[in-house]
Amino acid sequence: MEITDNHFHLDPKGQQELAVKDFLKAGGTRLVLVNKPYSSWKRLDEFKKQVSITMKLAKKAREAGAKVAVVASPHPIDLIKLIEHMNEEEASEIYIEAVDFCTGLVNENEIVGLGELGRPHFDVEDRVWDLSNRVLCESLMRAREVDAAVVLHTESGTPKVMSELSDIASKANFPTNRLVKHYGGPGSIENPNGIVVSMISSSTNIEFASKTEFNFMLETDYLDDPKRPGAVMGPKTVPRKTLKAMKNNILSEEQVYNIHTRIPNSVYRDFD
């Protein structure tokens, strides 16, 4: 039986493969390893170095025994930081260059998708909000061209937010069944508008999602941050919560298969 943590970070200053081993010992088998901003960057070559760190960490995770699917892209916060150093047009151009670098990796079968794309999860000026949405739409168009999965980082999901994200995907002609709302809660899955929801693996979330008709996966958003051990959730959480939910008849065997095998396979297509 596969147990997939759909959103997992590793950090060169963190536990790295030790965290992966904890995941495996608890019953986990597969990870979606997501690139994260290890530090600020202003040039494409600096961003490329960050992705190379993620690729090295993925290799360590595989050597520890996990099957891994890697997603990478510039983070929505990167666009905000770029605007602090240059005008919006220049910032957008560099951001899209970074997106194009990642779509090239998808084309070369080095990674399976782009993530985290999206928009700020906090209040920003209207011009920055509008720019973030335009850049997201353009990024989804680029991802579609290489048949990539996409993981979204946005504000907390509500039916309204999910509808807005679905509309952006529609403008980009991007298939929502390969679009993942990361850090999902009950509001995300109340009406996901075709987007696949990755639920944060609390017992409450699992029970709520188990009673809906919509597709979902489970994640920890483990950060591997030495300053915040166990944040957002620890590496053992997804397997432990899944097995507990099965034992308590909250999740059926069919639901577990869908959450951990069928849906991740449909979204990402390849773990190795």
Confidence class of residue 16 from pLDDT cuts 50, 70 and 90?
Answer: very high
Q: How confident is the model at residue 1 (pLDDT cuts 50, 70, 90)?
A: very high
Domain borders along the chain are 4-268
61-88 tens-digit pLDDT = 999 999 999 999 999 999 999 999 999 9
Architecture of domain 4-268: Alpha-Beta Barrel (3.20)
Q: What is the pLDDT of residue 112?
A: 98
Confidence bin at 254 (pLDDT 50/70/90):
very high
Contacts (Cβ under 8 Å, ≥6 apart) of 84 = none
What are φ and ψ of residue 65, in 5° steps?
120, 0
**Predicted pLDDT at 263:** 98
Spatial strand order in the sheet of 113-118? 4-8, 30-34, 67-71, 113-118, 149-153, 179-184, 196-200, 216-219
Q: Which stretches within 186-236 are classed as H helix?
A: 186-190, 203-210
